[in-house]
Amino acid sequence: MAASAYASALGRLKPEFTAFLPKETYAQLVAAKDPNEVAKLLDSTPYGPDIQATRAAYQGAALVEIAINRTFVRRNRHAYEATPFAGRGVVAAYLTRWDLQNVELILAAKAQGRSITETEDHLVSSREIPAGLYAGVLTLDDFRQLLAQPSLEAVAAALVKFGYGATVLPLVETFQRTHDIFPILHALDREYYTRVLEAARFFQGDEWVVRQFLASEIDQRNALLLLKGKAGNLPLEEVVARWFDGGTVPAAQVPDLYGVRSVPELVDRLAGRFPTIGEGLGDFTENQSLTGFEAALARDRATSELTRLRTYPLSLAVIFTYLLLAELEREDVRRIAFAKLYNIPNERLTPLLVSPRL
């Protein structure tokens, strides 16, 4: 595609890049005493208008989450609208991840018997606009209708008209027998990656950018799967069954990677592919938590992907650079708000943040 089209995209997004939170703001947020103070500190940032618009109805972590979701949706919209026409198909396919996250949230809520109001508050949406609207097929009213269904089975049936029924319905009987929601969520994730990788084949010249970007995300998820499996003593065949295709590590290599006795040994084996993964060992040793590994993997991917993407500014890479930064900031601010809600010490919280260390 002509570089001039991406020069225009870069020009449209450039002011948005400067709006991401600086490192010193993260230090202030971490030092906050509770979620309400986090919200107050966000008043002077790009999240301020949504914090102020939401404060009358919400407080604490819920206020922060709803406000950052609204800001995040607008950022997704800016990225989509800045994308040259030939690249919009793959960006649209990528953004359906947020519709999918909402669908999975609703299915999990039905499986756990959570209320409609409690669940709607956590949808990735901005006022009346869900995050995937510009790419997907579900409106906020559609999500509300799904929430109003009496059971997971009814939600699965209602998803047929949105293209998710063929993935979910065959697994409903297994859920009824086991009450395990994981196979359904995993099947939806697998279908998402299949669709977006397929979409990355059909536009002019930049498909390699997106395919490598997605492959690194799949690698990150597969590495975390290995760690969770080893920590939970899952049998090899179950780990292989949950493996995501499309990354740089084929399922055929899983037996060799997984053939160790402990999580630390697995970390040592993965360190060649994920150099920072060992940063999670301290938290695992002390608290038997995998959260440190998850943060280290996210940070490793973000560092390598941003370095690669920024090498090609006049391409679709500029769009995905912006989308990645927006996602990382959203996750970090959410992590801080909920850490304050659950009184997680700052010394445990700080290493889990990705954006301040990029």
Domains delineated in the chain: 1-84+325-358 (1.10.132.50)
Helix 291-309 to helix 317-341 angle (10° resolution) is 160
Q: What percent of the chain has pLDDT above 70? A: 91
- Cβ count within 10 A of residue 284: 18
Residue 256 CB-density burial (10 A; 0-12 exposed, 13-18 middle, 19+ buried): exposed
Distances (CA, A) of 217 to 13, 203, 306, 356: 23, 21, 13, 20
Contact 321, 10 (CB under 8 A): no
User: In whole numbers, what is the pLDDT of the chain averaged over residues?
Assistant: 90
Calculate mean pLDDT across residues 283-296.
93
Return d(Cα 339, Cα 299) in angstroms, integer. 19
Cα 318 from Cα 87, distance rounded (Å): 12
Q: Are 167 and 193 in contact (CB under 8 A)?
A: no
Distance, CA of 198 to CA of 179 (rounded, Å):
32
Instruction: Report the run of H or E that residue 300 belongs to, with start and end.
Output: helix 291-309
Q: pLDDT tens for residues 340-350?
A: 999 999 999 99
Q: What is the pLDDT of residue 189?
A: 96
Helix axes 88-112, 140-147, angle to 10 degrees: 20
Alpha-carbon gap, residue 109 to 151, rounded angstroms: 9
The DSSP symbol for 128 reads T
State the pLDDT confidence band at 136, using cuts at 50, 70 and 90: low
Banded model confidence at residue 8, pLDDT cuts 50, 70, 90: confident
- The CB-side HSE value for 328 (13 A sphere, CA atoms) comes to 31
The predicted structure's pLDDT at residue 184? 96
CA dist., res. 239 & res. 236, Å (int): 5
- In angstroms, rounded to a whole number, what is the distance separating the alpha carbons of residues 349 and 254? 31
Task: Mean pLDDT check: name the lowest of 56-65, 204-213, 222-231, 265-274.
Answer: 204-213
**6: which 2 tokens?**
């991406």
Which range has the top average pLDDT, 16-25, 54-63, 89-98? 16-25
The predicted pLDDT at position 122 comes to 65
Whether 266 shows a pLDDT value over 70: the answer reads yes
pLDDT at 6: 80
* Residue labelled with tokens 């090899």: 236
In this structure, of 77-91, 257-271, 336-350, the range with the lowest mean pLDDT score is: 77-91
Give the position of tokens 């020009």: 11
Which two tokens mark 92?
């649209």
Give the per-residue pLDDT at 202: 63
Q: Is the pLDDT of residue 10 over 90?
A: no
In angstroms, the CA 67 to CA 47 distance is 7
Element (H, E) at 66: helix 60-82
| Residue 130 banded pLDDT, cuts 50, 70, 90 | very low
Q: Are 188 and 164 in contact (CB under 8 A)?
A: yes
Q: Can you give the pLDDT at residue 113?
A: 82
What are the C-alpha distances in Å from 255 to residues 62, 226, 314?
42, 10, 41
pTM of the model: 0.92
